[in-house]
Structure 1
Amino acid sequence: MSQERRATVRDVAARAGVSPGTVSKALNGTGQISEATRERIRRAAEEIDFRPNALARSVFERRSYTVGMITTDSFERFSVPVMLGAEDALGAGRISVFLCDSRGDPIRERHYVDVLLGRRVDGFIVTGRNFNRRPPLAGARDVPVVYALTPSADDNDCSVVVDDTASGRLVAEHLLRIGRTKIAHVTGPERFDPARRRHAGLTSALAAADLELTGMAMYGGWTEAWGRQATHILFRENPDIDAIHYGSDLLARGGADALRELGRRIPEDVAITGTDNWELIAEGARPPLTSVDLRLADVGRVAAQRLLDAIEGRPHSGLEQVPCQLVVRASTDETAG
């Protein structure tokens, strides 16, 4: 084919020896066509570098091949990994993603829903910085919606979340394996659902080993300052602590500062673990921080797959939990890098 002219459906039809209508059906996966004919058409399309017109394809199939992603995460710390995972899954179907930040404002969120519906998006993925249950997306009407990280308050909706209970359990089992028995916990606000679930996983694993948490669970903010303050409070009342699990890597960084101030060595005297596996912090810590990877990209990938199923008429409902993973580094393992 001449490089000055783009190949058309008619060119593919002529090369494959079929009608243009048969080419359209074959490339769109519709119609009663033998697999041999379908393969001959695909091969002909590749040989002349035929690229279907996206607009024509969307009109023919009554789809826009776009998805709206609405987030409340202005810092993009959580929504970007989710979006990248979703794009991995959606990209295979040549589906584009529109990302909109509602900033937690219901009016702004409804505006974005209306705008994206005006663009005829095929569905929505809803995510955010707050992992607590949220009201269902208003105004989405008959367009499928999947919630990622931030579950819907409606149990009939499809929500894909991190298995937070398992994250606490993974940490406890690891600390017990390396011989720690005086384990404390510093985390974020008690109103934060995942903080309570991570605590439950931690304490249930300790209970299975006939142990209890050392000191009270230290609920507070998500800041380095709280990590330092809570660590000092714990050691005033429990100087024999030999391990601390922090509910975030930022908390762990503050806690590590406090342990140095207290003259405790990491991990020889006190092993510490974080949550998030934020590589900028975890790998830059001294020593490098053992942390729970929440696998946010996998959450986005699974959410996108569930949305694709719904778009194709196979909707999912209920809560689906994505497994997390413990990444072991030198803060709990003297032999680690």
Structure 2
Amino acid sequence: SLPVDLAGLPVPVVYAFTKGEPGSVTLTSDDGHGARLAAERLKKMGRKRLLHITGPLEFTSAVERAEAFRAVAGGGAPVLHGVWSEAWGHEAIDRIWNTGGERPDGIFCGNDQIARGVVDALRERGVRVPEDVSVIGFDNWEIMAAQTRPPLTTVDMNLKELGREAGLMVLALAEGRTIEPGLRKLPCRLVVRDSCGGVGRQN
């Protein structure tokens, strides 16, 4: 929740990534759409044993991504909830590789930090990315994605476009135009780098 109450301000307010007042306009990225793009890409690369490693269940975004991932990957596809960190990505791979069960050949991670930990943990085991396992992150945190070895394929939430939309809405409201209240979800895009196989294309 916000630390201040914006409802009484004499200026138009558009909320982004937080629940607004009743009757307000809220903009957010479509987490489910981003997760579907990732899972579909893994399947397109021929991956059959898909896994999702993500953040805590208390985060709506983590739950929405997990549900959308399972809708594409199949209801039985495993989802591991933890924290949003490289250490959790590492720990999740430790857990999977040490149990001796079926190992994934495609992993979708809830953010780029988790993905970086996953890629590092796989490399330490001599598992090749993307030849043996394809990995996809979420956020397109470009410094993290570019420095991962191999560079990370990841979902971009189009935050610049979201900011642009919010700005246009504030201007429209300031001019007295009516904007239909409610939640608007903006689509994501997949930025393809080396970690899932298939290089240099965006869709």
Tell me whether the two structures share a fold, i.e. TM-score over 0.5.
yes
- Equivalence map 1:82-231=2 (5 Å): 106=3, 109=4, 137-140=6-9, 142-152=10-20, 154-207=21-74, 212-213=76-77, 215=78, 217-231=79-93
Q: Distance in 2 between matches of 1:163 and 1:143?
A: 27
Identity rate, percent? 41
Residue 13 (structure 1) aligns with: none
1-side partners of 2:84 and 2:199: how far apart? 29
Distance in 2, matches of 1:278 and 1:233, equals: 26
Q: Which runs of no fewer than 5 residues in structure 1 stay unpaired? A: 1-103, 111-136
Q: Judge conservation of contact 1:160–1:303 (CA < 8 Å) in 2.
A: yes
Match of 2:184, SS state, is strand
- TM-score, length-scaled by structure 1: 0.56
Deviation at 1:263, TM superposition (A): 2.0
Distance in 1 (alpha carbons) for counterparts of 2:178 and 2:98: 53
Aligned to 1:123: none
- Kindly tell me the number of residue pairs found equivalent between the two proteins: 199
- Structure showing greater Rg: 1
Aligned residue type for 2:14: V
The superposition leaves residues 10-36 of structure 1 with CA deviations (integer Å, 9 ceiling, x where unpaired) of xxxxxxxxxxxxxxxxxxxxxxxxxxx
In 2, are the aligned partners of 1:247 and 1:275 still within 8 Å (CA)? yes
What corresponds to 1:322 in structure 2? 186
Alignment match of 2:171 (pick from 308, 314, 324):
308
The equivalent position to 1:271 in structure 2, one of 128, 134, 153, is 134
AA at the equivalent of 1:159: T
Runs of 4+ in 1 over 4 A off after TM superposition: 334-337
2:32 maps to amino acid: T
The one-character-per-residue Cα deviations of 1:168-204 (angstroms, maximum 9, x if unpaired) are 1001111001100101111111111111111111111
Whole-angstrom CA distance in 1 between matches of 2:199 and 2:157: 24
Is the 8 Å Cα contact of residues 267 and 334 (structure 1) preserved in structure 2? Answer: no
> Using a 3 Å threshold, how does the CA distance of structure 1 residues 321 and 105 change in structure 2: closer, same or farther?
closer
Alignment pair present for 1:236 and 2:98: yes
Return the alpha-carbon distance in structure 1 between the equivalents of residues 123 and 67 of structure 2: 28
Q: Does 1:293 align with 2:150?
A: no
RMSD over aligned Cα, in angstroms? Answer: 1.9
| Aligned-pair CA distance for 1:261 | 2.1
Gaps of 5+ in 2: none
User: For residues 103 and 53 of structure 2, what CA distance do their matches in structure 1 show?
Assistant: 16
- 1:146 shift after superposition: 0.3
CA distance in structure 1 between the partners assigned to 2:157 and 2:146 by the alignment: 16
Counterpart of 1:276, as a letter, is D
Which residue is 2:110 aligned to?
247
Highest RCO, 1 vs 2 (Cα 8 Å, sep ≥ 6): 2
TM-score by length of 2: 0.90
Residues of 2 paired with 1:174 and 1:145: CA distance?
37
